[in-house]
Amino acid sequence: MIESSTRVYAVIGDPIEHSLSPALQNWLIRRFDLDAVYVAFRVIPDRLKACVDGIRALGLAGINVTVPHKQAVIAHVDRVSPEVERLGAANTLVPGAEGIEAHVTDPVGFLESLSGERERFRGAAVVLLGAGGAAQSVSYVLGRLGVAQLTLTDLESGRAERLADLAQRSFGLPRVTAMEAGSDSLSERLARADVIINATPVGMSPHTERSPIGESGLLHSKQLVYDLIYNPATTRLLADAAARGAAVKNGLDMLIEQGVASLRLWTGKPLRLGARERGQLRSYLQERL
């Protein structure tokens, strides 16, 4: 029941019409019994400043920020969290008495999504496909998980090298190497990897026939293959990995845990989902893809 007292949360981005965030957050709002509602606003880049000023004027209680505003929004807020400072991107605005503080929930979302799988990462060899914003947050968490060796690759020239440098310098990762996509040395790393993570958009709907790695023969049953994509729920990469007996995971749990993290920031309450509830929410979202 929406009343005058109901707090309003929103996601801003462009495009926004396919965002799962309203479905996700309103499910969580019901689950946690909050007097709140979550809506989506399409905001074009030219109007980002007016939008942030409007958020203050209207007294919105919390904002998620998505493409293309994750970097640009930082210029318009009053404070940033240490992780935003480090990663250079924000996806959650927390309005408060001292103005708007920008946070980023990618790291906590990735970390919390791992649940019982965290032990796999200690001392592991990891191949991370992609070196953009999502890959940067993943690398940051990999450092905290005690990964032994990280191999990075990206189709955009120079990006993997830059992230490799940052990861080694700032994220506490001991051995980080950038490799060329499709190279023999990368194939070797893939075959030997304990964990393969896809942080590229390759395989995302509507181009669902594509995989970010050429040969599925490199995948095997001792690996965890984690695709940050959640639409489709089973990408070509995950289907190939499952066929080869690997453990697989898609991006829905990370999306869910980022949503819970936003609500913790906005409410100040220690909100958590149990495993069974997370499964229910996952099914609910999967039906809406």
Cis upstream peptide for 15 (omega within 30°): yes
Q: Closer to a copy of itself at the Cβ: 10 or 150?
A: 10
* Catalytic, out of 49, 70, 222, 269: 70
Q: Closest distance between a copy of itself and the C-beta of residue 68, in Å?
A: 15
- Scanning 8-16, 80-88, 92-100, 167-175 for contacts with a copy of itself by CB under 8 A, the matching segment is 8-16
| DSSP letters for 48-111 | HHHHHHHHHHHT-SEEEE-TT-TTGGGGGSSEE-HHHHHHS---EEEEETTEEEEE--HHHHHH
Map the footprint of a copy of itself across residues 253-272, applying CB under 8 A. Answer: none
Helix (H, G, I), strand (E, B) or coil at 144: helix
Pattern 51-70, a copy of itself, x by CB under 8 A: x-xxxxxxxx----------
Compute how many residues bind a copy of itself; rule: CB under 8 A: 37
Could you confirm whether 222 is annotated as catalytic?
no
Element (H, E) at 227: strand 224-227
- Scanning 48-56, 151-159, 173-181, 217-225 for contacts with a copy of itself by CB under 8 A, the matching segment is 48-56
Phi, then psi, of 69 in degrees rounded to 5: -105, 0
Q: Closest distance between a copy of itself and the C-beta of residue 207, in Å?
A: 21
Amino acid letter, 127: V
- Write b or e for each residue in 80-106: b if 16 or more Cβ atoms lie within 10 A of its Cβ, otherwise e: bbebbebbebbbbbbbeeeebbbbbbb
Q: Cite the DSSP H helix spans in the chain.
A: 21-31, 48-58, 82-87, 106-113, 133-144, 159-170, 184-192, 236-243, 252-267, 275-287
Does 116 engage in binding with a copy of itself (CB under 8 A)? no
Does 10 engage in binding with a copy of itself (CB under 8 A)? yes
Amino acid letter, 34: L
Q: Closest distance between a copy of itself and the C-beta of residue 248, in Å?
A: 27
Does 173 engage in binding with a copy of itself (CB under 8 A)? no
- Scanning 6-14, 84-92, 144-152, 189-197 for contacts with a copy of itself by CB under 8 A, the matching segment is 6-14
Q: Which of 22, 95, 107, 109 binds a copy of itself (CB under 8 A)?
A: 22
Interface positions with a copy of itself (CB under 8 A): 1-6, 8, 10, 12, 16-23, 26, 37-43, 47-48, 50-51, 53-60
